[in-house]
């Protein structure tokens, strides 16, 4: 039986596909290539160009493949964009998750692993690592859309016997340690990628949003988790569900944070390059400090991170950026044309 990966041509999804294939799984990918790239999908996976929001696409995929479980990454993830376009985020994240679950129930698929987010917590009440039972108070349409999807999973599980794991990601960073995948998004907003692009001369400058948070250096502090460790948590979740595990919501993070300035300094240290940093006002929806308590994932899923090292995270991200330069120098935007052949 096969594992369906929605959004498998994107940043995290493409890493997931490689990890599943290495584990000996049969992998099917559905992606509409709105932000992902066809070339990013491992060639051993069966790829369908399509939108999971269209029932006909899912019907076709389910008819041609015996799907055991779904790992659902497809969705929109940029917090400021969700504030500008809330209806678009509710449609793409919440609405399409509803359509996917509807099709899964009809097809008799009873295992789902869902890509959720720490944004469901909103601004933490204190500086301690956040547990899964903390108050859920998302402050942006992005966070709301993910929380609504979690609630749909919970209710679907109760009504239809669905078993699921919802993994609440903190800040995903870095690239595949074997160099096969990375963050290839054009115009990315991920802090580490932006800093790497600035260090390599692909941006004239980068911005730091807010220097007046109640943190040691005044900039936001986040729990940065290496993407390979994150996809390993998904593999553990799949094993958990195969063993009969019931609904589970678990944080994915290391339990400690780095500030925006820590990330910038790590990139400067790795490249021995200086670059211009502009200090601007806070963005709506940004919290000062967000760090995970990942005890549940470590104990229930037996998840053991292997890449909890900021310098390793930065080194893999830089290696991928240099790989992208070799693929499409000098204009990184040409990557999309390479991806879909026009």
pLDDT confidence of 328, banded at 50, 70, 90? low
Q: End-to-end CA distance of the chain: give it in Å, rounded.
A: 34
Distance CA 164, CA 157 (A): 8
Q: How many CB atoms lie within 10 A of CB 252?
A: 29
- The pLDDT tens digits for 182-240 are 999 888 889 999 999 999 999 999 999 999 999 999 999 999 999 999 999 999 999 99
- The pLDDT tens digits for 88-145 are 999 999 999 999 999 999 999 999 999 999 999 998 887 789 999 999 999 999 999 9
Which residue in the list 142, 169, 224, 254 is annotated as catalytic?
142
Annotation marks residue 258 as catalytic: no
pTM of the predicted protein model: 0.93
- Classified as helix, coil or strand, 337 is helix
Domains located in the chain, CATH noted: 2-340 (3.40.50.720)
């Amino acid at each position: 039986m096969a594992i369906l990966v929605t959004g498998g041509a994107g940043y995290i999804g493409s890493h997931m596909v490689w990890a599943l294939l290495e584990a000996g799984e049969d992998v099917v990918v559905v992606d509409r290539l709105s932000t992902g790239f066809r070339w990013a999908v491992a060639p051993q996976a069966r790829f369908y160009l399509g939108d999971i929001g269209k029932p006909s696409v899912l019907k076709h995929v389910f008819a041609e493949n015996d799907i055991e479980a779904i790992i659902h990454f497809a969705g929109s993830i940029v917090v400021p964009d969700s504030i500008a376009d809330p209806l678009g985020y509710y449609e793409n994240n919440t609405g399409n998750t509803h359509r996917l679950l509807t099709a899964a129930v009809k097809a008799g698929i009873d295992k789902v692993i869902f890509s959720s987010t720490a944004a469901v917590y909103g601004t933490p009440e204190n500086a301690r690592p956040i547990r899964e039972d903390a108050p859920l108070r998302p402050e942006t349409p992005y966070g709301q859309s993910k929380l609504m999807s979690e609630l749909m999973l919970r209710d679907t599980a109760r009504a239809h016997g669905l078993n699921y794991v919802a993994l609440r990601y903190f800040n995903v960073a870095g690239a595949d340690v074997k160099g096969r995948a990375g963050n290839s998004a054009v115009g990315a907003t991920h802090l580490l990628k932006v800093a790497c692009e600035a260090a390599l001369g692909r941006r004239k400058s980068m911005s730091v949003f807010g220097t007046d948070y109640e943190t040691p250096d005044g900039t936001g502090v986040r729990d940065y988790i290496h993407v390979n460790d994150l996809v390993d948590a998904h593999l553990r979740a799949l094993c958990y569900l195969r063993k009969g595990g019931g609904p589970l919501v678990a944080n994915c993070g290391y339990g400690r944070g780095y500030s925006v300035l820590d990330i910038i300094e790590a990139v400067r240290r790795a490249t021995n390059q200086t670059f211009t940093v502009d200090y601007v006002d806070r963005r709506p929806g940004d919290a000062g400090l967000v760090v995970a308590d990942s005890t549940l994932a470590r104990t229930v899923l037996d998840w053991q991170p292997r890449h909890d090292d900021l310098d390793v995270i930065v080194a893999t991200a830089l290696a991928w950026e240099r790989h992208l330069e070799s693929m499409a120098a000098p204009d990184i935007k040409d990557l999309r044309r390479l991806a879909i052949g026009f």
